[in-house]
Structure 1
């Protein structure tokens, strides 16, 4: 009896082993694993060709922890200015965003600070003091108040004033949000292994459109920088892709990998779509093409290529920390300061031929401490007449 039991257990173990082995070699799963690592491959390419900075390490840190700090200043050719300060630390549930615009010598300031459930809104057009909102009581208090409506916020948005999360956690949220559309796309997608390192993937156009629409919805509901900017970018690019997909029932992709299953090239059968990450990098979408390759240039780190039909060249001198970019229309002279590999840098750039003429950027992988405000106005607890007086005074000043 014991011998039979041992044989059965052994057979069951072998069955499980081969099931896992075959599942890991299942073409759909292999292709999914290949595509999941594209962002890491992009940063590895940049890191390899523009050394010193540790871009891949920076991306890994920000992706895993979500901690970063940005100070950005821009000045355009009309002498209008934009200043942005953005710090966040998801583990501490803290974020701070402040945007200051100067247009025709008129200054507008907007921002918010989130520390756990405490929210402080910076609205200098209303008050010099921050406007305080407790997210735990926000929905109930807003039912008896017009404050949120007057400020332009939708309290039905479940992501409103949420503390930040890391990129890894955001990706997990995205996968859950598009689970139905992703599962349907995978189920109806046909994957054929052509050789040891190549695959053919047939996807229904409708499935891709539904998936893109769901991804766009996910980022549209996001309430904080940089996802608000990402949402606008996705909306523009997805609109171009959607118009192209309307013209076809399906799209066929060919995927080529190296021996370690790293993506080398993905392209559609009509070559309208392509991603290549080899000793060069290429991205093709409808109406968009970006091609980048390294160039031997003595001690300089040089990249050249094309953005659509415009050729460019960018060189970085690791000794002087000077970077020069030109594409026939735009010339950028930039220099890096306070540089600590994989941790922080400061960039000052002068730009000719573009809408922006000056750019200053400070970047940190360790953000500054974000503290609660000591003085503020608890706006959702204001009486109606006090709130009307507050915004009425602001209107009178205008």
Structure 2
């Protein structure tokens, strides 16, 4: 189901482009508003399915305030003996963030990277590089780096535009994104044509090169953020857009048709060749180059069910609101038994799952709108204030 975000993401990019300036023509306003309705309708579907969790309130709170605490644990099981742990904390109010990446494998091998940013103070601990906690003051980082090779020796790019930056709210983030892709937005906006066919039916013509340029620039922005979560977003989309890129290169224009209901909500958007489709009028159907996802929902007395297929792979997923349990199985023998616990409606939850028919044995997730306290580290070494001889001696000791 996560792949549906690819198509919605593309049209949110289009929505941003269409809404960046005030439009003089009515059809563009109607189309932009319809595209923006997708997010709200999507969250309504999530709330209806996961009845009682109020996930939309949690989502919108994180989106508006930026504060969050996320913990992910992945276990490959007894045979592979591999485990991953990720913790990401963003505290926008206190201008601080925390990241932990930890891996353990066979023969008791383990490694981790831990990074805390509190205003201008940075604490780094990396098992692959050092047993010590390193301290960096970002106020003096650039000037002190002129006489030190420490950051370069650690593999840190001092020229990264968002190196050790404090977290931002989504509104601040979106402002930076708009500024970064301004030229591409303007180019797409000027070339986009929207024509009314009949009431609730519109034709949209996009310049393929300009649309691709906007997408590429957007992904470039995420890559340069210097933030683990944004980097993963960029990796996720980049790994799945090669077919889309190739398709756009083979088209001078991307011609889409949109259907909108009387309330201004998006019902369907599609190309005549059916290579592109997002149908929200009949449950959910998404078609992109090399992707075909179809979903339908069913409400029963004690549980809610989604029937679906992904590129021909049939699956069924049922959620039981009273017990807060989830059961998934498909025609490739993948089975997932999961449950939600420690639920604070609209604020936090824990998701625990056991898997069969795949390499992974267990996946656990915690998500909260309240960030854990991020504390300064004691007994740290301010590496940029070491002279080169002291740094070289420290490196020898680490080796």
TM-score by length of 2: 0.89
Are 2:219 and 1:216 aligned? yes
Per the TM alignment, residue 248 of structure 1 is displaced from its structure 2 partner at its CA by: 1.3
Deviation at 1:275, TM superposition (A): 2.0
Task: Please tell me whether residue 93 in structure 1 is matched to residue 95 in structure 2.
Answer: yes
1:23 Cα shift? 4.9
C-alpha contact (below 8 Å) 1:66/1:165 kept by paired residues:
yes
2:8 aligned residue: none
Counterpart of 1:309 in structure 2 is 312
Which stretch shows the higher mean deviation, 222-231 or 119-128? 119-128
Between Structure 1 and Structure 2, whose CA radius of gyration is higher?
Answer: 1
Question: Which stretches in structure 1 are left out of the alignment for 5+ residues?
Answer: 1-21
> Contact (CA 8 Å) 2:314, 2:330: kept in 1 or not?
yes
Residue of structure 1 in register with 2:72 after alignment: 72
Residues 297-336 of structure 1 correspond to what in structure 2 (within 5 A)? Answer: 297-329=300-332, 330-336=334-340
Q: What is the deviation of 1:25? A: 5.8
Answer yes or no: is the 8 Å Cα contact 2:58–2:348 preserved in 1: no
User: Which residue does the alignment assign to 1:8?
Assistant: none
- Checking the alignment, whether the CA contact within 8 Å between 2:120 and 2:139 is kept in structure 1 is yes
Q: Which runs of 4+ in 1 moved over 6 A?
A: none
Pairwise CA distance, 1:149: 1.1
Equivalent runs, 1:9-158 vs 2, <5 Å: 23=23, 26-77=26-77, 78-104=80-106, 105-158=108-161
Q: What is the aligned-residue RMSD (CA, Å)?
A: 1.8
Task: Determine which of 359, 371, 374 is the counterpart of 1:370.
Answer: 374
- SS of 1:391's equivalent in the other structure is helix
Name the CA distance, whole Å, in 2 between partners of 1:321 and 1:287. Answer: 34
Q: Does 1:393 align with 2:397?
A: yes
Alignment of 1:347 with 2:357, yes or no, is no
In 1, Cα distance between equivalents of 2:203 and 2:74 = 45
Aligned positions, number:
374
CA distance 1:48–1:318, change in 2 (3 Å): closer
- Aligned equivalent of 1:175: 178
SS of equivalent residue, structure 2 residue 132 = coil
Query: Secondary structure at 1:92's aligned position in 2?
Result: coil
What SS class does the counterpart of residue 165 from structure 1 fall into?
coil
TM, length-normalised to structure 1? 0.89
Distance 1:269 1:50 in 2: 35
CA contact (8 A) 2:191 2:207 kept: yes
